[in-house]
Amino acid sequence: MKTEQKIRAAVVQCLADQFQKSVDPETISLSETRKEFPGDITVTTFPLAKLGIGSPEKIGESLGNYLRENLSEVSEFNVVKGFLNISLSEAYWFDFFHSIKIEDFVRSEVGKGQKVIVEFSSPNTNKPLHLGHLRNNFLGDSVSRILAANGFEVIKACLYNDRGIAICKSMVAFRREANGATPGSTGKKPDHFVVDYYVRFASMVIEETIAELVNLGFEEKAATLLLQGKGKDLTEEDKAALGQIKSAMKERGIELDQLKENTPAMKEAREMLLEWEAGQPEVIALWKKLNDWVYEGFKATYERIYVTFDHLYYESQTYLTGNDLIAEGLEKGVFFTKEDGSVWIDLTADKLDMKVVRRADGTSMYITQDIGTAESRATEYGMNKSVYVVADEQDYHFKVLFLIMKKLGREWADGMYHLSYGMVDLPSGRMKSREGTVVDADDLLNVVRDAVEVETQEKGRIEGLSDQQLQELYEMIGVGALKFFILRVKPDKRMVFDPEESVNLYGDTGPFVSYAHARARSILRKVDEMGIGGESRKYASLADAEKSVLRQIAKYPDLLVEAAQKYDPSLIAAFALDLAKEFNRMVHEVHVLRAENPDASRFRYELSQLVAELIRHSMGLLGIKVPDQM
């Protein structure tokens, strides 16, 4: 804030004038005054005592007097120990309020002329979107919006992991058992339809493994226990049978994992992958059919959470890239070849390890692809920054990737950033697909939406809304509740997601903020209907609650920049929440419609308008829409 710079400068000036000490303005410690003390801005004077010019209290007094005399913004001050609390004048706050131009207020130009690619979402096409993907999507989408609000040209990219053994498993199960079924014929959401075959494949493997064990002369009951008894309560008899089959297998040198790997289903999947790589037409056609269904299903979910992409990448098209760079790296001596033909990079000097970047058989791997796609993006877009929204389990991978690009001499490597976020846990612990605890994204969205519907039916101000508008309202508040719940938490923190608590619509939640907005809009509508005279500029005595609202508003411009620099939507969420709180307090303490005089009415009307705009804008940066009534 400009005012802060003025204060810093004045403090420096005062130290020079009165104590002949020269101090760097940036070292002056400024902070917001804690609300239990009078004042707006606090200068901490402890560090200045080191200059040998008196006690912190004395310095505070001197500075306070100087600031009050020399800065018109400063109306009064008080000193508590080493803290100089400065109050800004009412005139200052009114000036601030009247000077706000909303379009300028809600955007910065720190990213002007810079291009940034944000890659996020990037799902596998064999699994449905789940809670973890939601955090990724919400973060990537919100960060994109925040960057755009700071003047960056943002390109949102999504990389579909559409190939590999996993999707082949779904294909095998589908080919064996679908009998012409389609999402349409079963009434299922297309991505879930495909995923069911992936799940089905797993049980095929189990069935076939049991069959093979029986074939090898083991009892079916014992074999079944071995494959499916995990995590279940077993009787003593079962346990005995289980122990028996295990030791018998060991004796005969039979390994369970190998049996599984060699089931007809697994063989078929591996064959299919080879056929896919060979471009076998039927396999490709099947692959396309299933993936198209998955995309159709994903699309519905993306629309629901208002997430869009500017560019879609498909791993099936990029998985071979990167080899040129490997060659270049070898030439430059960045990489080296081992006897077996594999290509490596030695990162031990950078406190990392030896890493393989290309297999001995010449095929590329994950890191090879990432090297390739990073390069092609740079040539395609010439971006200044490249943000990868990927969970923190891949921290090491990105350290390596960025380092490699740098060693290859790519100057844009400095602009690569891994927006690493913590996993989402359930109260019971980590989500595990094997244990069926994965929270499906679509299900979750429905559950929250339904909770909102119940609440709204009971308490909402929904007169005059059509059925369709009501449906949209439930959806809007529900999606917002979920986004807010997740974005509130700092990205790098691992978070616990309690489905029970996520449908709570009270307290520090998205609906709370939405509610404040609806409330403000409602007041504004009423004022518009009745019409009030008055002039906001003639109002000149700020109530406490009004000033608190203004103080909160004043934080927004800096926060916007900070959120972009830190890639952190939780800062915006905290702002929206605090603004809503301050506004609720204001509404409770002063009246807009029945104010002391028309000037007060007018001022509060305009202030409420600004609050509503800022709630809408800040929530918008989180990818959340807010209703005009609820």
Please give the residues from 299 up to 318 whose contact with RNA meets the rule CB under 7 A.
Answer: 315
Strand-strand pairing, 115-119 and 153-160: parallel
Q: Which is closer to RNA, CB of 336 or CB of 396? A: 396
Candidate segments 221-229, 327-335, 371-379, 458-466, binder of RNA by CB under 7 A: 458-466
357 vs 385: CA distance, rounded Å: 24
501 vs 509: CA distance, rounded Å: 10
Q: Nearest 10 degrees: CA dihedral of 579, 83, 86, 573?
A: -10
Q: Give the x/- contact pattern for RNA in 396-425, rule: CB under 7 A.
A: xx-------------------------x--
Q: Which is closer to RNA, CB of 244 or CB of 597? A: 597
Strand-strand pairing, 83-88 and 153-160: unpaired
Candidate segments 202-210, 278-286, 353-361, 609-617, binder of RNA by CB under 7 A: 353-361
Q: Which of 322, 570, 599, 602 binds RNA (CB under 7 A)?
A: 570
Neighbour tally for 5: CB within 10 Å: 11
Number of residues that bind RNA (CB under 7 A): 90
Candidate segments 167-175, 198-206, 358-366, 532-540, binder of RNA by CB under 7 A: 358-366
Helices H / strands E in the chain, number of each: 25, 15
Candidate segments 192-200, 265-273, 379-387, 390-398, binder of RNA by CB under 7 A: 390-398
Q: Which residues contact 141 (CB under 8 A, 6 or more apart)?
A: 120, 156, 305, 306, 307, 623
**Contact of 120 with 156, CB cutoff 8 Å:** yes
Closest approach of Cβ 387 to RNA, in Å? Answer: 17
Closest approach of Cβ 43 to RNA, in Å? Answer: 9
Q: Give the x/- contact pattern for RNA in 98-127, rule: CB under 7 A.
A: --------------------------x---
Closest approach of Cβ 125 to RNA, in Å? Answer: 11
Closest approach of Cβ 544 to RNA, in Å? Answer: 11
What amino acid is encoded at 571 in this protein?
A: L
Q: Which of 288, 306, 312, 366 binds RNA (CB under 7 A)?
A: 366
Residues 527-546 binding RNA (CB under 7 A) are none
Q: Rule CB under 7 A: is residue 360 a binding residue for RNA?
A: yes
Q: Which of 395, 528, 535, 596 binds RNA (CB under 7 A)?
A: 395
Q: Return the residue matching tokens 């602009």.
A: 415
Q: Which is closer to RNA, CB of 13 or CB of 394? A: 394
Q: Rule CB under 7 A: is residue 340 a binding residue for RNA?
A: yes
Closest approach of Cβ 93 to RNA, in Å? Answer: 18
Angle, vertex CA 528, rays to CA 525 and CA 530, nearest 5: 110
Q: Rule CB under 7 A: is residue 629 a binding residue for RNA?
A: yes
Q: Nearest 10 degrees: CA dihedral of 281, 286, 292, 297?
A: -170
199 vs 111: CA distance, rounded Å: 45
Residues 188-217 binding RNA (CB under 7 A) are none
Candidate segments 93-101, 207-215, 240-248, 453-461, binder of RNA by CB under 7 A: 453-461
Closest approach of Cβ 185 to RNA, in Å? Answer: 31
Q: Nearest 10 degrees: CA dihedral of 330, 334, 337, 342?
A: -100
Closest approach of Cβ 394 to RNA, in Å? Answer: 5
Q: Rule CB under 7 A: is residue 162 a binding residue for RNA?
A: no
Q: Which is closer to RNA, CB of 267 or CB of 493? A: 493
415 vs 189: CA distance, rounded Å: 39
Q: Which is closer to RNA, CB of 210 or CB of 455? A: 455
Q: Return the HEC string of 445-489.
A: HHHHHHHHHHHHHHHCCCCCCCHHHHHHHHHHHHHHHHHHHHHCC
Q: Which of 137, 161, 209, 373 binds RNA (CB under 7 A)?
A: 161
Q: In what order do the strands lie in the sheet with 343-346?
A: 336-337, 343-346, 354-358
Q: Which is closer to RNA, CB of 267 or CB of 526? A: 526
Closest approach of Cβ 527 to RNA, in Å? Answer: 7
Q: Give the x/- contact pattern for RNA in 30-59, rule: CB under 7 A.
A: -xxxx-xx-x--x-x-xx--x---------
Closest approach of Cβ 516 to RNA, in Å? Answer: 7
What amino acid is encoded at 576 in this protein?
A: A
Q: Tell me the Cα Rg of the chain.
A: 31
Closest approach of Cβ 248 to RNA, in Å? Answer: 29
Closest approach of Cβ 325 to RNA, in Å? Answer: 16
Q: Which is closer to RNA, CB of 2 or CB of 50? A: 50
Residues 487-516 binding RNA (CB under 7 A) are 488-490, 492-496, 498, 501, 504-509, 511-512, 515
Closest approach of Cβ 22 to RNA, in Å? Answer: 19
543 vs 545: CA distance, rounded Å: 5
Q: Rule CB under 7 A: is residue 361 a binding residue for RNA?
A: yes
Strand-strand pairing, 83-88 and 74-80: antiparallel
273 vs 200: CA distance, rounded Å: 18
- Encoded tokens for 65: 């007097």
Q: Which residues contact 108 (CB under 8 A, 6 or more apart)?
A: 149, 150, 151, 557, 560, 561, 564
Q: Which of 523, 560, 579, 614 binds RNA (CB under 7 A)?
A: 523
Q: Which residues contact 331 (CB under 8 A, 6 or more apart)?
A: none
Residue whose C-alpha is closest to residue 244's, from 272, 223, 275, 214 = 223
- Encoded tokens for 223: 């074999």
Closest approach of Cβ 593 to RNA, in Å? Answer: 3
Q: Give the x/- contact pattern for RNA in 580-609, rule: CB under 7 A.
A: -x--xx-xx-xxxxx---------------
Q: Nearest 10 degrees: CA dihedral of 384, 387, 393, 395?
A: 20
Helix (H, G, I), strand (E, B) or coil at 178: coil
